[in-house]
Structure 1
Amino acid sequence: MARQIYQYEDIKGHIWMEEFGERKIYGYMPPSYDGGLEKFPVVYLQDGGDFFLPEKNRVLSVLEGNFEKNKLKEVILIGIEPKQRLDEYSPWYATALSKRFKDFGGKGDVYIRFIVEELKPFIDASFNTDPSVEGTGIMGASLGGLISMYAACVYPEVFGRIGCISASFWYEDFLEYIVRREISNIRSKKIYMDVGSLEGHGKDSRQIFMVSNTKAIYDAFLEKGIGNENIRLEIDHGASHNYKFFADRFPKAIEWLFSKD
């Protein structure tokens, strides 16, 4: 399928979609992108275009408002459609949260390798991107946030900006993995994490650790040497694990990760 371009009345940039291998890839090109010499940072997003397609939410209007105010670097957003979400977004095998669901397949390494070895080279060759570590972000919500953090740990030489919105840090052994893991150039990373204060309430599974594990991972990164100016933890008081809250916090996360210092 050839690349399809979409223009929406309420945004100044444009959106495209094309098939890449067996999955759909969505892209957002900011208003100033004209194919010239300027290089743009890129953020690779889990769950396709859910975070930026105008029919799903209005976050692009917020981002473009921040572009105009010169608060935020203009960024390219690349949304990656998942094929088997529970498998691709899990770093290793784990049993299901309940009998109603299938086990987590633990194919995260294969999925991340696809981004690093296939998709990123394609995007860098097709558009005027900043391919550096500092110019490359990865981000997601829930399990998408979990696999984004895992990607940053496995490929610290690729991803320098990491966004984890309500990430599933309750995942079995993930807190222990972060505590043990040595991450090269940790002091140069920028990491954004958030969680709703009500997430995990009333659960009878590992999800009860949603807030506590997020705080513990934040503390673990501080102990590894990242400065307070390079890591941020937001607690959204009164928020549950809900897409509405994810979308509300997404522009704030992008603004902090790519703000003009």
Structure 2
Amino acid sequence: MNWSRFLRYLSPCFLYSLVIAPVSKAQNVEFLDSIGLQQRMLRFKSQFVSSRNLDILLPVDYFQSGKAYPVLYWMDGQNAFDDKVAYQSESLHFDQIVDKLIRDSVVRPFILVGVWNSEKRYREFNPSKAFEKLNSITKAAIKAEYGGKPLSDKYLSFLISELKPYIDRNFRTLSGAESTTVGGASMGALISFYALLEHPEVFGSAICMSTHWPLSRIKDCNACSDGFVKYLSTVDDTALKDKRIYFDYGTENLDSWYEPAQQKIDKVLDERKLSVQLTTVSHKWQGASHSHADWSQRLSSPLEFIFGLHSDESKADRQYTPGKL
């Protein structure tokens, strides 16, 4: 029998089961599509945080190519591409958007790892070193609102010492910082920026959509956003060297709180860009709100900025035209 010819006709899902089956069984994997490109790992265990699910989206050619791919770790990962589990039953539709961008030769293929949040989301996503820059009254108010002190450093330990090594062992990844991106929206954006600053040896780029600088969910807290500005001023230049960071915000409802804080962050970063070869985009989307629908509508912009086949800073500036959703 011509075995090479025979193997070409086996389903990608079956081939995957031959290669990864023991690990998949241990991690309790569900296949969300017919060929294994969309997977859900149930109750991924950690010594730092509570167990949580992971939604993984593989490139369409993953089982045939033999190539290694860059990785995007996305916060609030249950909202990535499955409407059935997404908040208010509306996902970001990563699968559809990425598929079109790849087919149109706009971005290079990458692996998406969607990290589900937990009941301690606000505490896990609250950057502890920025929190420590707040005055005592503001600290007390945020702790009361969130139900306790920040757990962000434990969460980052989970990401870098447990989750990323597991993904690198069990999938064909480009594991260097230059090929590893962290991203999210709202509080997910806040922890993503913090992750990049705290662990530049792990993450080379970040996507921060509608970053929730005020921390509070009930009022626009200028003192809270100023805490992050103070923290950022203490970050060493080496943490920013050769990094790429995408920021954006809308103008409606909760997003209307963000512009003053974002401008302060932009100013601090702009003053350091040349000395550290930092590349950033900070984009205002007129009329956009704090919602999955609006984030999904503009998701192609940060993906092209990070993974674009032909992207450079000038092209990015031209592409992200305010108001074009």
TM-score (norm 1): 0.87
Q: Deviations over 1:58-79 (max 9, x none)?
A: 3422221110121101111101
Shift of 1:170: 2.5
Q: Which residue in the other structure is 1:67 paired with?
A: 102
Alignment match, 1:235 = 284
State the AA in 1 paired with 2:108. Answer: K
Superposed displacement of residue 246, structure 1: 1.9
Are 2:199 and 2:239, in contact at CA under 8 Å, matched by a contact in 1? Answer: no
Aligned position for 1:6: 32
Find the structure with the greater CA-based Rg: 2
Provide, for residues 53-102 of structure 1, a one-character-per-residue CA deviation record: whole Å limited to 9, x for no partner: 25534342222111012110111110111221011001125444697x43
Aligned to 2:112: 77
Contact 1:6 1:15 in 2 (8 A): yes
1:58 and 2:107 aligned: no
Aligned to 1:196: 250
* Structure 2 equivalent of residue 214 of structure 1: 262
- Over 3 Å counting, the alpha-carbon distance change for 1:228 and 1:122 in structure 2 is closer
From 206, 217, 228, the equivalent of 1:162 is 206
* Larger relative helix fraction: 2
Q: Is the 1:86–1:104 Cα contact (8 Å) retained in structure 2?
A: no
Gaps of 5+ in 2: 1-26, 46-50, 85-90, 132-138, 216-223, 311-325
**2-side partners of 1:116 and 1:59: how far apart?**
23
CA contact (8 A) 1:13 1:30 kept: no
Match of 1:39 in 2: 68
Q: Which amino acid aligns with 2:293?
A: K
Cα separation, 2, equivalents of 1:105 and 1:194: 27
In structure 1, stretches of 5+ residues that fail to align are 203-207
2:238 is aligned to: 184
Deviations 1:99-131 (A, max 9, x none): 7x4345311000011100000000000000000
SS class of match (1:134): helix
Give the total of aligned pairs: 251
The answer to whether the 8 Å contact 1:4/1:17 transfers is yes
Is the 8 Å Cα contact of residues 160 and 188 (structure 1) preserved in structure 2?
yes
Measured after TM superposition, the shift of residue 35 of structure 1 is 6.6
User: Do structure 1's residue 106 and structure 2's residue 142 form an aligned pair?
Assistant: no
* CA–CA separation in structure 2 for the residues paired with 1:245 and 1:119: 29
When residues 252 and 221 of structure 1 are mapped into structure 2, their CA distance, relative to the original with a 3 A threshold, is same
RMSD in angstroms over aligned alpha carbons? 2.5
TM-score scaled to structure 2, two decimals?
A: 0.71
In structure 2, relative to structure 1, the CA distance for the partners of 1:25 and 1:201 (3 Å cut) is closer
For residue 115 of structure 1, what is the aligned residue in structure 2? 159
Within 2, Cα distance between the matches of 1:42 and 1:128? Answer: 10
Alpha-carbon distance change, 57 to 170 in structure 1, aligned in 2, over 3 angstroms: closer
In structure 1, what is the Cα distance between the partners aligned to 2:141 and 2:69?
39
Q: Partner of 2:154: helix, strand, or coil?
A: helix
Aligned-partner residue type, residue 269 of structure 2: F
For residues 88-107 of structure 1, the aligned pairs below 5 Å read 88-92=124-128, 94-96=139-141, 101-103=145-147, 105-107=149-151
Do the aligned partners of residues 231 and 244 (structure 1) sit closer, same or farther apart at CA in structure 2, a change above 3 Å counting?
same
Shift of the alpha carbon at 1:148? 0.5
